[in-house]
Structure 1
Amino acid sequence: MNSVDIHNELKDLLSGSNIKNQLSVAQLVEKATSRGEAMLTADGAVCAETGKYTGRSPKDKYTVEEESTKDKIDWGKVNQPISAEVFDKLYTKVVNYLKTKDEVFVFNGFAGADKDSQLSIKVVNEYAWHNLFCHQLFIRPTDTELASHTADFTIVSAPTFHADPAVDGTNSETFIIVSLEKKIILIGGTEYAGEMKKSIFGIMNYLLPQQNILSMHCSANVGEAGDVALFFGLSGTGKTTLSADADRKLIGDDEHGWSDNGVFNIEGGCYAKTINLSAEKEPEIYNAIRFGSVLENVVIDPETRIADYDDGSLTENTRVAYPIDYIENIVTPSVAGHPKTIVFLTADAFGVLPPISKLTKEQAMYHFLSGFTSKLAGTERGVTEPEPVFSTCFGSPFLPLPATVYAEMLGQKIDEHGAQVFLVNTGWTGGEYGVGNRMKLSYTRTMVRAAIDGKLNGVPTIQDEVFGLHIPTAVEGVPSEVLNPRDAWADKAAYDQKAAQLADLFKDNFKKFANVPENITTQGGPIV
């Protein structure tokens, strides 16, 4: 089936009497609650449960192998190929399935705040709450923009349509399939809304580098002086939390592009974790949960409708989606200048990396390519406790192109703009997971603010004997014994063993980068 036939099928679907186009927030809230998809909380947010899929399903994500794009894709476990025939048959089934529904919801909007590289998107949803999620997460059009809107890419999502692997050629009942040639993202068998968000991010990660724009899995904010900071890290490492700073304006919490003009947000909203959320620790996020916000898998008291953010019985990966203007301190539009500070966030379950260290250029490139963190409970199906993982560029699940494309672009921009790079461990201290404790958020905030404000520039450092990282000897407001991870462990021998184990994992992982300059390999990683 060619692109014309595919889009004729879509056009036929969208001409149906069951189509609800561009409903308002209030209308979508009414639909989600009246249809039994979600409940209204005491704070006015919509709360939905996503069933057994409470995180992404990476084994069910595919890219169609097509002549026009196949030579550009970094095929493997992340970018799994699937045939055009499988896609076409499933697409027809899903479209016909949606035609039988009483109501189907459509949102038109954009990805990318930079008008020069902005992507027009259309989202077709079986669920009203999914459509509300997309309305709040992507960039909402003005009336003028909507009148002339033509989609570059379309998401077609039918969570209650389940594939038959034996017939449909999928791994399971769930599928997330991207056709770059036909410009369709087909989703079925999962109610987890994050699949839609990340699918569009994957499209931007494919398109932007080909326009000489670095796409990044990071949050970003900017100070009064125009000093931009980037926060790289996988889900659960603190990107959203640390970028929502009352003293700085938020550019965005998760996905950005870095062009010749500076940094811009890819999205129009935020998607924050809510497990253990409190007004005291994270007031910006807490106060953003109100009418129009979408909660996922948060336990709600059936009588009072009050949310219990400490209850992780459904999943540790509880979430809230809200438009970026629910945060008071934001940049409008979501664009700013070139970064002065870059922070790599890692949640180290070994508990051996320093809470903050300054990186040389070689170390910055090494740790960007390594992308070490711990996969936290709930962020993917089947993950119930932290698992050490190396995710290239702190976002390998979303990168369709070879990792070196993004790494080389980042290196060029660091050189060009003189950005300072820091590695920050938001994971464990005083012992590994199960023995030590999670690093205090107050300490992490203090250290990050010191780095961004330039207060660490003149502070003496000591070099970690295992990883070669440059650790500040003092950070005002942070106990000195916290700064050096070995000092925080009561059992020094146990620390040495764990540090050596992690160093070996770094070295083994880095062997896959065959074409990296030798100085990055020899000067960027562990020194023992």
Structure 2
Amino acid sequence: MARICNVLSDLRENYAGCLYNNLSVPRLKELSLQRKEGILTASGALRVSTGKYTGRSPGDKFIVCDPETKDRVDWKNNQAMSPEVFWRLYNKMIHYLQNKDLFVFDGYAGADRSSSLAIRVINEFAWQNLFIHQLLLRTYDTGRETGEPEFTILAAPGCTADPVADATKSEAFIILNLTERLVLIGGTHYAGEMKKSVFSAMNYFLPRQSILSMHCSANQGVGGDIALFFGLSGTGKTSLSADPDRQLIGDDEHGWSDRGIFNIEGGCYAKCIHLSRENEPQIWDAIQFGSVLENVVIDEDSRQPDYASEAITENTRAAYPIRHIPHSIYPGIGGHPSTILFLTADAFGVLPPIAKLSPEQAMFYFLSGYTSKLAGTERGIAEPQATFSACFGSPFLPLPPAAYADLLKEKITRHQTQVFLINTGWQGGRYGTGKRINIQYTRRMVAAAINGQFNQTAFTDHPVFNLSMPLHCSGIPDSVLNPQDSWADPQEYRQTAWKLAEMFHKNLEKFVLPPEVVQSGPHLPL
């Protein structure tokens, strides 16, 4: 950890810029506007553009391979970089920043103090420092003492790589040095890279303490019951967990220890394409003073956001502190979850909108991590594509998926947690012909699962996916619950379902699974 405390010292050797330490939200916003990094919107939020990179760039992410990480990191899922190349890029970045104004934020990740990580973020841009100020937990308003950082992120979007000289894939680079606890981010203005770098680091450190790190949102009912929502970006974690009848603990990243669950962050990063006050009132109202809007089209005169516009990207985003959500819990700590929901946006339109999973099926679908990558979430994705992402977060997992799956199995068994699969994708046909499942229907099904209503409901088995589907749910037509009923051609439905079933089993071939877990999955055509 020798390098951690020396980053600012390295910068100061010939530093000619101005160093801003832990500025307030108003001051950061003021400087962002003065520096013409963004514009003010009607709600008081700051709107910025991230240029070429409007989503994560997974092909440009690396982990340093050294004696510490060589035998621990899953190199089948992560790109390796040598320490020599890393330090060459580090020195290049230090040189680049010598005449730049810099913004420093000291916070931490992990609301449970026994396993939290003190993080320092050094930014080239004031708006990115405002972003991370709102996304991480703050030392000054949680009573935690400010100490030396245990992890540092250096983000300089204007510092670009030479792919030939620097051994990168493009001008952008996101490099995690887990041994030195230092992250370099250059060539991309997309602020989500900072957020996910923190999550990737926690996914490396927490399981080594027998804590399950999870790509999920979490909320709490009036009786203290906890619900978790797993899923990749765009599947509904943020929207469904922001429930006015429940308290939000966090919208994206959590840990599950022997004491219960805790939020890794202090803010939310919501997709806001097609955002409406009617469907997502809490998120709509959360976008206020101190919030950051990324790549949202704004009317030049009224400064009103056009959330329906995809002119820049479909991956429009809003970053805001969790305290902008009424009755949220900050810092986010709760008990053991009674309900887990796996969210998937099925582009084939064949999965049921809700199904109850056995413990074996929970392992099958957790390791499968099936969903559709939605347009704009990553570079090069123009329309939803079927994908399998282990543990609903493969891009952020330094360790082998089994390390997380084994922890999940142990915890849901010990705490008798019920698990459901929720399809927030399409129905009545695949993407392009079918329709997206009504979010209000999804909300009713989620509420029924959390409140235990399905404990008194009859179920039927899906003939292909071997899933238990409820026959009834209050407020929803019975025909919605069985996906085949929404297709005009039953034979086309079965053929499409078999195609997806084959993809599930093909994907699971890379894992060594117990026979009962394999048999709990979809049935293959004879």
Aligned to 1:56: 56
Change (3 A) 1:525 1:408: farther
Equivalent residue letter for 1:95: I
For 1:501, which of 482, 499, 502 is the aligned residue? Answer: 499
For 1:230, which of 228, 231, 253 is the aligned residue? Answer: 228
For 2:194, which of 187, 193, 196 is the aligned residue? Answer: 196
Aligned to 2:93: 94
| Cα contact 1:346–1:425 (8 A) shared by 2 | yes
SS at match of 1:339: coil
Change (3 A) 1:207 1:234: same
Residue 182 (structure 1) shift: 1.0
Residue 456 (structure 1) shift: 0.6
Change (3 A) 1:120 1:19: same
SS at match of 1:110: strand
Q: Encode CA deviations 1:304-333: one digit per residue, 9 max, x unaligned.
A: 111000001100000000001000121233
Q: In structure 2, what is the Cα distance between the partners aligned to 1:146 and 1:156?
A: 23
Q: In structure 2, what is the Cα distance between the partners aligned to 1:450 and 1:495?
A: 27
| Cα contact 2:5–2:148 (8 A) shared by 1 | no
Residue 493 (structure 1) shift: 1.6
Q: In structure 1, what is the Cα distance between the partners aligned to 2:380 and 2:142?
A: 45
Q: Are 1:149 and 2:147 matched, yes or no?
A: yes
Residue 5 (structure 1) shift: 5.8
Residue 142 (structure 1) shift: 1.2
Residue 443 (structure 1) shift: 0.2
* TM-score normalized with structure 1 length: 0.97
- Give the 5 Å matches for 1:61-72: 61-72=61-72
Equivalent residue letter for 1:405: A
| Cα contact 2:25–2:290 (8 A) shared by 1 | yes
Change (3 A) 1:367 1:526: farther
| Cα contact 1:371–1:391 (8 A) shared by 2 | yes
Aligned to 2:462: 464
Aligned to 1:364: 362
Q: Encode CA deviations 1:152-191: one digit per residue, 9 max, x unaligned.
A: 1100011011101111111110000000111100000000
Q: In structure 2, what is the Cα distance between the partners aligned to 1:47 and 1:364?
A: 40
Q: In structure 2, what is the Cα distance between the partners aligned to 1:446 and 1:144?
A: 35
Aligned to 1:108: 106
Q: In structure 2, what is the Cα distance between the partners aligned to 1:372 and 1:166?
A: 35
Aligned to 1:22: 22
Q: Encode CA deviations 1:198-241: one digit per residue, 9 max, x unaligned.
A: 00000000000000100000000010111100000000000000
Percentage of pairs with the same residue = 58
Q: In structure 2, what is the Cα distance between the partners aligned to 1:169 and 1:7?
A: 27
Residue 9 (structure 1) shift: 4.8
Aligned to 1:43: 43
Q: Are 1:415 and 2:413 matched, yes or no?
A: yes
- Gaps in structure 2 of 5+ consecutive residues: none
Equivalent residue letter for 2:314: E
Q: Encode CA deviations 1:395-440: one digit per residue, 9 max, x unaligned.
A: 0010000000100100110100000000000000000000000000
Residue 502 (structure 1) shift: 0.2
Equivalent residue letter for 1:521: V
| Cα contact 1:177–1:187 (8 A) shared by 2 | yes
SS at match of 2:496: helix
Query: Which has the higher mean CA deviation after the structures are superposed, 233-242 or 12-21?
Result: 12-21
Residue 527 (structure 1) shift: 5.6
Equivalent residue letter for 2:88: K
SS at match of 1:132: helix
Residue 526 (structure 1) shift: 3.4
Residue 100 (structure 1) shift: 1.6
Aligned to 1:522: 519
Equivalent residue letter for 1:347: A
Aligned to 1:474: 472
Q: In structure 1, what is the Cα distance between the partners aligned to 2:213 and 2:171?
A: 31
Q: Are 1:84 and 2:83 matched, yes or no?
A: yes
- Gaps in structure 1 of 5+ consecutive residues: none
SS at match of 2:248: strand
Query: Which has the higher mean CA deviation after the structures are superposed, 106-115 or 91-100?
Result: 91-100
SS at match of 1:151: coil
Q: In structure 2, what is the Cα distance between the partners aligned to 1:499 and 1:148?
A: 54
Q: Encode CA deviations 1:460-518: one digit per residue, 9 max, x unaligned.
A: 0110000000000000111111110000001112111110100000010010002x212
Query: Which has the higher mean CA deviation after the structures are superposed, 389-398 or 148-157?
Result: 148-157
Q: In structure 2, what is the Cα distance between the partners aligned to 1:330 and 1:61?
A: 33
Aligned to 1:272: 270
SS at match of 2:395: helix
Q: Encode CA deviations 1:13-34: one digit per residue, 9 max, x unaligned.
A: 1574511100110111011111
| Cα contact 2:266–2:331 (8 A) shared by 1 | no
For 1:303, which of 280, 301, 308 is the aligned residue? Answer: 301
Residue 146 (structure 1) shift: 7.4
Aligned to 2:211: 213
- Aligned-CA RMSD value: 1.3
| Cα contact 2:340–2:419 (8 A) shared by 1 | yes
Off by >4 Å, runs of 4+ in structure 1: 14-17, 143-147
| Cα contact 1:507–1:526 (8 A) shared by 2 | no
Residue 12 (structure 1) shift: 3.1
Residue 149 (structure 1) shift: 1.9
Aligned to 1:510: 508
Aligned residues: 523
| Cα contact 2:41–2:298 (8 A) shared by 1 | yes
SS at match of 1:59: helix
SS at match of 1:352: coil
Q: In structure 2, what is the Cα distance between the partners aligned to 1:6 and 1:450?
A: 48
Equivalent residue letter for 2:67: E
SS at match of 1:344: strand
Q: Are 1:12 and 2:10 matched, yes or no?
A: yes
Residue 143 (structure 1) shift: 7.2
Change (3 A) 1:9 1:116: closer
Q: Are 1:487 and 2:485 matched, yes or no?
A: yes
Change (3 A) 1:258 1:143: closer
Q: In structure 2, what is the Cα distance between the partners aligned to 1:144 and 1:340?
A: 27
Q: In structure 2, what is the Cα distance between the partners aligned to 1:358 and 1:496?
A: 21
Residue 145 (structure 1) shift: 6.1
Q: Encode CA deviations 1:7-55: one digit per residue, 9 max, x unaligned.
A: 5353231574511100110111011111111101011000001111000
Aligned to 1:243: 241
| Cα contact 1:346–1:427 (8 A) shared by 2 | yes
Aligned to 1:178: 176
SS at match of 1:499: helix
Q: In structure 2, what is the Cα distance between the partners aligned to 1:131 and 1:146?
A: 20
| Cα contact 1:137–1:197 (8 A) shared by 2 | yes
Q: In structure 2, what is the Cα distance between the partners aligned to 1:436 and 1:152?
A: 49
Q: In structure 2, what is the Cα distance between the partners aligned to 1:74 and 1:467?
A: 30
SS at match of 2:338: strand
Residue 525 (structure 1) shift: 3.7
